[in-house]
Chains A and B, each alone.
Chain A
């Protein structure tokens, strides 16, 4: 009897060790906290349906020196490319404690505006150069937005795709293929002017004229999905999906739809 109990105790201890390691790893993950979408009245879709309306503003930076959820000076990896929360006119929110885990209501319209401060090049898979899954499968592009005067330096235009050789990053939401509606949204973000990005970086700042992309998506059933950039923009490891691309809260995060 003593031996059987000892054998059982060994098994229980083994499970305990594994559970302890799992708990430690879960607690140690790089989580940037939750950011809720802002209520903004109602939205009428092209098919005439009306939805509660919410907004989210984000920036994409060529490095993490903006601070925000990474901490003052950019935290552990100030040189890593990163998404971050944006103000009403694309201004960096350097004090924002939360970052790239978004909470949005189910069956609502969410209008997302992304100011893209980074340069770019040819995307490896031109499937992601097209706007997919937004209302009308379109987005509104301002190629040069003046962040000082808060005006469009170039005319806003509706686009269904952008040239595949001028992509800065993408904002792509996808999720688990469970019994619920599958979510898939992908919006390419055009590159900013290369010379201006480089010049601004040398001065320790960001270009005055980022590109600005605005689009609206209709959320489905509640569930937890993820989003990430589908442009390989990390370091040279794992096909440029290393570093910032392989660490949550830089070029990826959760997309949480709540009922």
Chain B
């Protein structure tokens, strides 16, 4: 049986460990926010669509929103590592904490968590629904996307088929996505489009590329032995170049 001193009646926020944790939290919150957002800028590609621009902004916003929570965890860890420890019997009086249920603290925690989840959900949906706008565009082009272990192929309305995706700039495109075998995920990295490709079903995603260039398509669903090689290119070109490419590919495909 340890010989404890009577617990002190100090307010919890006056406890030295709490003060230390708070100081750590004040330092860590902006540090994580700044480092996190800068890290995202470095690791995320230049956007090739309005949707991707929104996704990058969203990541920055969420990183800042999450940084106080992450900072609190790190601050508690830092306090635990840097505080003195007592070994053996007769611990100091302040080691004996009275733990009691606090309905107010529980309610506060639940409300904060719920508000943060709702914030992430609503803001995320507002940004991501933009890629659905093109689904209703009358002038949109349609491309059938087929995933198969471990390659993508694309079918166009005029009969052209290709292993490389060609799109005209500033024209909405609707992807009709399916799989021949297992579940894949069609991810046009720089355009912020990622949609599951399911065998037996056709899913749809839409985007309007707004930059000419060569970008990347990857499978974002672990799909087997050569999943890492299930990648190809998307060429965003002018309308005239796109029409020429489409006619050439259609003629090549029509050859028997």
Residues of A whose CB lies within 8 Å of any CB of B are 3-4, 7, 124-125, 127, 130, 132, 137, 160-161, 172, 174-177, 182, 184, 186, 225-226, 228, 230, 232, 238-241, 245-248, 252
User: Which of A177, A228, A232 contacts B231 (CB under 8 A)?
Assistant: A177
A174 to B233, CA, bound (A): 11
Stretch of B14-22, B126-134, B217-225 with 4 or more beta carbons under 8 angstroms from chain A: B217-225
If over half of A's interface residues share one DSSP class (helix, strand or loop), that class is named, otherwise mixed; here it is mixed
Flag if B181 contacts A161 (CB, 8 Å): no
Flag if A4 contacts B224 (CB, 8 Å): no
Flag if A230 contacts B151 (CB, 8 Å): yes
List the B side residues contacting A247 at CB < 8 Å: 225
List the A side residues contacting B225 at CB < 8 Å: 228, 241, 245-248, 252
Q: Which 3 A-B pairs have the closest CB atoms?
A: A239-B181, A177-B231, A127-B153
With contact pairs A241-B149, A241-B182 given, residues A177 and B255 touching in the complex (Cβ less than 8 Å) = no
A160 to B252, CA, bound (A): 10
Flag if B161 contacts A127 (CB, 8 Å): yes
List the A side residues contacting B163 at CB < 8 Å: 127, 132, 174, 184, 186
Residues of B whose CB lies within 8 Å of any CB of A are 81-82, 146, 148-151, 153, 155, 161, 163-164, 180-182, 199, 216-218, 224-226, 228-229, 231-233, 252-253, 255-256
Flag if A4 contacts B81 (CB, 8 Å): yes
CB distance from B237 to the nearest CB of A (A): 15
Residue of B at shortest CB range from A232? B181
Flag if A174 contacts B224 (CB, 8 Å): no
A248 to B150, CA, bound (A): 13
Residue of B at shortest CB range from A181? B233
CB distance from A127 to the nearest CB of B (A): 4
CB distance from A258 to the nearest CB of B (A): 18
Flag if B149 contacts A245 (CB, 8 Å): yes
A219 to B227, CA, bound (A): 23
Q: 12 new A-B pairs (CB below 8 Å) besides A239-B149, A245-B149?
A: A125-B148, A125-B180, A130-B161, A130-B253, A132-B163, A137-B252, A160-B255, A177-B216, A182-B232, A232-B181, A241-B181, A252-B225
